[in-house]
Amino acid sequence: MEADYVVVGAGSGGCAMAYRLAEAGKRVIVIEYGGSDAGPFIQMPGALSYPMNMALYDWGFSSEPEPHLDGRRLATPRGKVIGGSSSVNGMVFVRGHAKDFDHWAESGAVGWGFADVLPYFKRMETWHGGNGVANGFRGASGPLHVTRGPRTNPLFHAFVEAGRQAGYEVTDDYNGEKQEGFGAFEATIWKGRRWSAANAYLKPALKRENCTVVRALARKIVVRDGRAVGVEIERGGRVEVIGARAEVILAASSINTPKLLMLSGFGPAGHLAEHGIDVLADRPGVGANLQDHLEVYMQFASKQPITLYKYWNLWGKAFVGAQWLLTGTGLGASNQFESCAFIRSDKGVDYPDIQYHFLPIAVRYDGKAVAEGHGFQAHTGPMRSKSRGTVTLRSSDPKEAPAIRFNYMSHPDDWDEFRKCIRLTRDIFAQPAFESFVKHEIQPGPDVRSDDEIDAFIREHAESAYHPCGTAKLGRRDDPMAVVDPECLVIGVEGLRVADSSIFPRITNGNLNAPSIMVGEKAADHVLGRGMLSPSNAEPWMSARWRESQR
């Protein structure tokens, strides 16, 4: 088997890449180890806690014991299914802040500033919000539908009003001109269904004769005379090669992409030699620069029985599921993340560095533990941790999971930023808007006050927000830690690119699905040798008082 382009991974970046290459008339084969995304656990937005905890759909990775979090191993779910992590995530849609991308460009990712990437964010979406299309920030005709929840629960409005009462900005569209502030959350949900990269991009591409999916485990990239010419795969117990006439494109996630690069001979020479792998390009940045968002759940008991807790039983879940299956509507048609905020932690911080997901139930993300009866919570954590980790090989066996070391909370600034998150959150929930709703604080609890007590709570309870990235950094060709150049080409070999969240030089503000799809869209134009879309001259909003005031 061979094609013009072989894409490894049917996730957010890979699906967008396959769609654009097939649309341009190129022959494309997508290699995906996972299976079908059919069925209510994936397609029903309200069931989001299930697929990311099912071995059928998740690679089942976890971190090595984290030294700064009491030696805990943290779950690191990655989608093992058509659509990749966009089929198992929380469906939250956040582009990131304009300054995130300007920082990328300043650090060597030339051509990836906000003005350069905004046209790709617009191309990829059909936005069902307000007037953002008219002001040049939002898209109206892309494959990815972006919607807002109904926000019928009064708690969603109380959260935004509390933010306003506390002196923060309110924003009509955090993905548009103004990220900073409290407002409505956006989601990749359309007509009551999860609108994953598979539904938006891959399934339309597969309707063309020139695009196919091969279910197999990618073992390594085949390189001949300094050029990637195919991918070695295993399926049905047999090892074979799928040939690439033009290029191989890796979009296998920030965990599996560096693993595949190292198995193929691209990475830190000493580490590859330890595992008996011939070094084709000594790139110390492969598997380095690993970043993530860490968060805690601030939970409060509710005075009123208006939370989702009333459905947190067999009959309630059966009702929600049946309503969704029969009508495509109701609570099952929402991810329940319908209000959010992006704020600055202190004066002198020029753009938001704290994110909030508000949820009208007090429960763990994996759905395994619900708090004491009716309650609600805000997920919060710093957006730009200075801690960096690694993804490394355990062995040269392609079937063995890599070793993932996030090194969470290893930078002293992380502790200061996290303490601010917790104290600022308490101030928000103490506002008059929550007076008729907040009964008491469940977690961390009213007794957790001092720095030492807050630090102990973080060590015990902080969880990953499941936003790993950065392990094959985009940068200048003369940057020894860069893995891909600004056209997403792997440095040190011909015909090989990366198009997923691995290439982020620094983590973006918020959830990573939207920027990962954007990478697939923009990288496709690099692959096709087209000129880039014209840079935007839209000017994002920045607080005029950021030097003097935290809010």
Please tell me the total number of residues recorded for the chain in this structure: 551
Q: Tokens for 14?
A: 């890979």
537 annotated as ligand-binding: no
Was 91 annotated as part of a binding site? yes
Structure tokens at 15: 């699906």
For residue 232, the surrounding DSSP H or E stretch is: strand 227-235
Nearest Cα neighbor of 242 from 70, 458, 42, 3 is 3
103 labelled catalytic: no
Catalytic option among 68, 145, 357, 467: 467
The secondary structure of 378-428 as a DSSP string is EEEEESS----BEEE-S-S-TTSPPEEE--TT-SHHHHHHHHHHHHHHHHH
Residue 444: cis peptide before it, omega within 30 degrees of 0: yes
502: which 2 tokens? 């691995």
Whether the CB-CB separation of 46 and 320 falls below 8 Å is answered with: yes
**H helix or E strand, kind and range, residue 163:** helix 154-165
Tell me if 90 is assigned to a ligand binding site: yes
Strand partners, 266: 281
Strands 28-32 and 2-8: parallel
Helix or strand or coil: residue 92?
A: strand
- Give yes or no for a contact between 468 and 324, defined as CB atoms under 8 angstroms apart: no
CA distances from 251 to 234, 237, 278, 387, 430 (A): 18, 24, 23, 24, 44
User: Which residue do the tokens 């996290």 mark?
Assistant: 418
Binding site as annotated, residues: 81, 89-92
Active-site annotation, residues = 467
Binding site as annotated, residues for FAD: 81, 89-92
